[in-house]
Amino acid sequence: MTETPDWAAVLRDVREGMIPAHLYNDAETHRREAKEVFGRSWVFVAHESEIPRPGDYVVRRVLEDSFIVVRDEGGAVRVLFNMCLHRGMQVCRAEIGNASHFRCPYHGWSYRNDGRLVGLPFHRDAYGGEAGYARQRQTLLPAPAVDTCNGLIFVNLDPNAVPLLDFLGDFAFYLDYYTRQSGSGVELRGPQRWRIKANWKIGAENFAGDMYHTPYTHASIVEIGLFREPRAERRKDGTTYWAGSGGGTTYKLPPGDLRSRLNYVGYPDEMIDRMMTTWSPRQQAVIGDDGFMISAATVFPNLSFVHNWPRVAESEHVLPFISLRQWQPVGPDETEVLSWFCVDREAPQRFKELSYKAYLMCFGSTGMFEQDDVENWVSLTSTAAGSMARRLRLNSRMGLWPDGTTIVPPLGPDQWHGPGTSYVGYGEHNQRALLRLWADCMERSVPAAGPPVGPAADRDPVASA
């Protein structure tokens, strides 16, 4: 049984860090998210390296909207709505391929890979030829807005959206650690795709800032000695940072300089040389001076990153890997996970192979971390559907005193050279920041939230809505 919640109260609670539990499995919330979050945000669809040659394409979705992301014959990247202009069939049914044209399977209309309609069977007899129905200027619907950053292709269903870089804001600074380790950028492999019976927000929040779960959820990985570093119990020495539309976590590194610290997590010297000429002095300072190594992160709404450095063989040697992942909502209780391996294009072949192995061991459909995480998320989601969840507000106030001030102060500019705000230790600053962006979107179609509730000491888990 679902009843319409008091949305003003829901959004007020979310902004307070008291999260109404039903938001993790609620049909009305899902419907509103489709319109207010995914209908207006920049959503990642593909990386340019997935479609390097003219005609290369992948088919990706933003919820139900299917898009062909294709490089046309002139080399331009197009994002075309995958719905035939005739009777609406999906024009491209394959997930990946290379084609100069797409021919609709239903009645055979065909389109060039820039979207232009070029072929109609029996054009003259059925439509009176060009005089009856001019093919010129007929084209598959382009995505309302397309923009890229470091080769990452995003779409926005709102044609009036702010430019991607404005949306990302200072998170673009951190994006470079994952997707620009050299002037050539990265290449992506995959994605692996699978579905989990969990709400999409849980993964997004977890990757944004949940260092707190590592020692418990992933205890077995530590116990079998998979990680020399990062050791789970050392997570509290790292930071969480938030900047613009995204935020993430870091590990504290042992004393050293930029090179020795990048060596420490397994990067070979030749890759470090390129990082040192590609990253700005400020970007280098976060690692070299401040001593933190970027780990997991999320950009609102549903694109996450991970950077980790496990042992991949019977040696003390660790190998870093990067993965991009997307939490694609299927319904209030189901998410399609897309997981890509990501590596610097100029990395040595041997590094690429071992890094891929490290990725597969930890993440992707066979990854050990993935299995641990999802067990929690599925369980949480199923309980969130019940009537008791509507009476519960989950406590997401870690790192705050009852009056809303922070338990530890943010790092000063001499301790953290990156933009945004960064805190050492456990806290849910990032999960709250992510859900505040969510609340800002959702508020567009609900009444404005009322004044904040009283002192946080009074906040109990019983939902007021």
- Residues found near ligand FES in the complex (CB under 6 A): 84, 86-89, 104, 106-109
Distance CA 194, CA 335 (A): 8
Least distance from ligand FES to the Cβ atom of residue 124, Å:
16
How far, in Å, are 23, 326, 452 from residue 434 at the CA level? 14, 15, 19
Cis upstream peptide for 105 (omega within 30°): no
Residue 104 touches which member of Fe ion, ligand FES, none, C-beta under 5-8 Å by kind = ligand FES
User: In terms of CB distance, is 87 or 101 closer to ligand FES?
Assistant: 87
Least distance from Fe ion to the Cβ atom of residue 61, Å:
25
Least distance from ligand FES to the Cβ atom of residue 69, Å:
20
Residue 109 touches which member of Fe ion, ligand FES, none, C-beta under 5-8 Å by kind = ligand FES
Token pair recorded at residue 219: 């205890």
Residue 391 touches which member of Fe ion, ligand FES, none, C-beta under 5-8 Å by kind = none
User: In terms of CB distance, is 108 or 461 closer to ligand FES?
Assistant: 108
What are residue 153's DSSP bridge partners? 46, 148
User: In terms of CB distance, is 207 or 267 closer to Fe ion?
Assistant: 207
The answer to whether 47 and 151 are in contact (CB under 8 A) is: yes
Helices and strands counted in the chain (H then E): 15, 20
Residue 236 touches which member of ligand FES, Fe ion, none, C-beta under 5-8 Å by kind = none
Least distance from ligand FES to the Cβ atom of residue 126, Å:
11
Q: Is 205 in the site for Fe ion (CB under 5 A)?
A: no
User: In terms of CB distance, is 304 or 328 closer to Fe ion?
Assistant: 304
The answer to whether 72 and 60 are in contact (CB under 8 A) is: no
Q: Total residues at the site for Fe ion (CB under 5 A)? A: 1
Instruction: Render 1-50 in DSSP notation, one character per residue.
Output: ------HHHHHHHHHHTEEEGGGGS-HHHHHHHHHHTTTTS-EEEEEGGG
Least distance from Fe ion to the Cβ atom of residue 206, Å:
6
Q: Is 373 in the site for Fe ion (CB under 5 A)?
A: yes
User: In terms of CB distance, is 106 or 401 closer to ligand FES?
Assistant: 106
Least distance from ligand FES to the Cβ atom of residue 248, Å:
43
Least distance from ligand FES to the Cβ atom of residue 63, Å:
22
Contact region with Fe ion (CB under 5 A), list: 71-79, 111-119, 254-262, 368-376: 368-376
Residue 461 touches which member of ligand FES, Fe ion, none, C-beta under 5-8 Å by kind = none
Distance CA 259, CA 424 (A): 23
Least distance from Fe ion to the Cβ atom of residue 300, Å:
19
Residue 59 touches which member of ligand FES, Fe ion, none, C-beta under 5-8 Å by kind = none
Distance CA 343, CA 356 (A): 8
User: Which DSSP letter does residue 104 get?
Assistant: -
Cis upstream peptide for 301 (omega within 30°): yes
How far, in Å, are 175, 190, 285, 287, 412 from residue 415 at the CA level? 20, 37, 10, 11, 5
CB count in 10 Å sphere of residue 455:
10
User: In terms of CB distance, is 50 or 373 closer to Fe ion?
Assistant: 373
The answer to whether 338 and 192 are in contact (CB under 8 A) is: yes
Residue 293 touches which member of Fe ion, ligand FES, none, C-beta under 5-8 Å by kind = none
User: In terms of CB distance, is 63 or 104 closer to ligand FES?
Assistant: 104
User: In terms of CB distance, is 87 or 282 closer to ligand FES?
Assistant: 87
> CB neighbours of 81 closer than 8 A, spacing ≥ 6?
65, 66, 67, 140, 141, 142, 143
CA Rg value for the chain? 23
Distance CA 325, CA 304 (A): 5
First to last CA, the chain: 15
Residue 455 touches which member of Fe ion, ligand FES, none, C-beta under 5-8 Å by kind = none
Closest C-alpha to 20, from 392, 456, 442, 395: 392
Least distance from Fe ion to the Cβ atom of residue 396, Å:
17
Residue 373 touches which member of ligand FES, Fe ion, none, C-beta under 5-8 Å by kind = Fe ion
Contact region with Fe ion (CB under 5 A), list: 97-105, 147-155, 369-377, 401-409: 369-377
Strand, helix or coil at 121?
Answer: coil
Residues in contact with Fe ion by the rule CB under 5 A: 373
